[in-house]
Chains A and B, each alone.
Chain A
Amino acid sequence: MKPIWYFVGLLLLGTGSLIALSGLHALFFPPEEQKVLSSLHPDLWWGLVMVSAGLIFLLFNRKKKVV
Chain B
Amino acid sequence: MVTIGLSLVDWIIIVFYFAFILSIGYYLKRFTKSQEDFFIAGRKNSAWVAGLAFLSANLGALELLGMTGNTFKYGMYVAHFYWIGAIPAMVFLGVYMMPFYYSSRIHSVPGYLKLRFDEKTRTLNAIGFAVMTLLVSGINLYAMALVLHTFLGWDWNISMWVSAATVGVYVTMSGLLSAIFTEIIQFFLIWFGLFLVSILGIVEIGGVNEVFARIPESFNTLWSTSGDPSQNGMAVTWAGIVLGLGFVLSFGYWTTDFLVVQRAFSAKDLRSARMTPIIASFFKMAVPFIVIMAGLVALALAQDPKSGFALLQDGGQVNYDSALPMLIQRYYPTGLVGLGITALLAGFMAGQAGNVSAFNTVWTYDIYRSHINKKASDAHLLWMGRVATVAGIIISVGTAYWAKSFPSIMDYMQAIFSWVNAPLFATMLLGMFVIWITPNGAFWGLVAGMGSSFVLFLAVKFQWIDPALITMSSVGSDMAANFWRAWWAWLICFVLTIVISLFTKKKPKEELVGLVKGLTETTVKEHVPFVKTPAFYGIIALIILVVLNVYFW
Which A residues form the contact surface with B (CB < 8 A)? 1, 4, 7-8, 10-12, 14-16, 18-19, 21-23, 26, 31, 35-38, 40, 42-43, 46-47, 49-50, 53, 66-67
Contacts and interface: CB of A to CB of B under 8 A. Distances in A.
Given A37-B203, A42-B196, A11 B330 contact: no
Contact of B16 (A15, A23, A31, A42): A15
Given A31-B333, A35-B330, A11 B196 contact: no
B335 A43 contact: yes
A12 B17 CA distance: 10
30 contacts: A4-B184, A7-B185, A11-B188, A12-B192, A15-B17, A18-B16, A18-B335, A19-B9, A19-B338, A21-B9, A22-B9, A22-B333, A35-B331, A35-B332, A36-B204, A36-B330, A37-B200, A37-B203, A37-B204, A38-B333, A40-B200, A40-B203, A42-B196, A42-B331, A42-B332, A42-B333, A43-B335, A43-B336, A66-B44, A67-B44
B20 interface: yes
Contacts of B330: 35-36
B181 A4 contact: yes
A31 B17 contact: no
A7 B181 contact: yes
Interface in B165-196: 180-181, 184-185, 188-189, 192, 196
Contacts of A50: 192
B131 to A, nearest CB: 32
Nearest to B327: A36
Given A15-B342, A18-B13, A35 B188 contact: no
A19 B341 CA distance: 13
B331 A37 contact: yes
Interface centre among B332, B335, B342 (most CB of A within 10 A): B335
Contacts of A21: 9, 335
A43 B340 CA distance: 11
B192 A8 contact: no
A12 to B, nearest CB: 6
A8 B184 contact: yes
A11 B333 CA distance: 20
Contact of B333 (A12, A15, A35): A35
B349 to A, nearest CB: 13
B192 A53 contact: yes
A-B residue pairs, 9 tightest by C-beta: A22-B335, A19-B335, A22-B9, A43-B335, A43-B336, A35-B333, A4-B184, A43-B333, A8-B188
Contact of B24 (A7, A49, A53): A7
Say what secondary structure dominates the interface of chain A: helix
A11 B189 contact: yes
A12 B188 contact: yes
A47 B335 contact: yes
Interface of B: 7, 9, 12-13, 16-17, 20, 24, 28, 31, 44, 49, 180-181, 184-185, 188-189, 192, 196, 200, 203-204, 330-336, 338-339, 342
Contact of A11 (B7, B17, B336, B338): B17
Nearest to A24: B335
B160 to A, nearest CB: 27
A2 B335 CA distance: 29
Given A21-B335, A23-B335, 11 more contacts: A4-B180, A7-B24, A7-B181, A11-B17, A18-B13, A35-B332, A36-B330, A38-B333, A46-B192, A46-B196, A66-B44
Contacts of A19: 9, 13, 335-336, 338-339
Contacts of B24: 7
A53 B193 CA distance: 13
A1 B334 CA distance: 35
Given A11-B189, A35-B331, A42 B336 contact: yes
A12 B330 CA distance: 23
B334 A43 contact: yes
A43 B438 CA distance: 60
Contacts of B200: 36-37, 40, 42
Contacts of B196: 42, 46
A48 to B, nearest CB: 12
A18 B335 CA distance: 7
A22 B185 contact: no
B335 A31 contact: no
Interface centre among A7, A12, A14, A53 (most CB of B within 10 A): A7
Contacts of A66: 44
A56 to B, nearest CB: 12
A42 B194 CA distance: 12
A31 to B, nearest CB: 7
Contacts of B31: 1
A41 B318 CA distance: 32
Nearest to B23: A7
Contacts of B184: 4, 8
Contacts of B17: 11, 15
Nearest to B308: A36
Contacts of B13: 15, 18-19
Contacts of A7: 20, 24, 181, 185
Contacts of A10: 20
Nearest to A34: B333
Contacts of B192: 12, 15-16, 46, 49-50, 53
A8 B331 contact: no
Contacts of A22: 7, 9, 333-335
Contacts of B338: 18-19
A18 B49 contact: no
Nearest to B30: A1
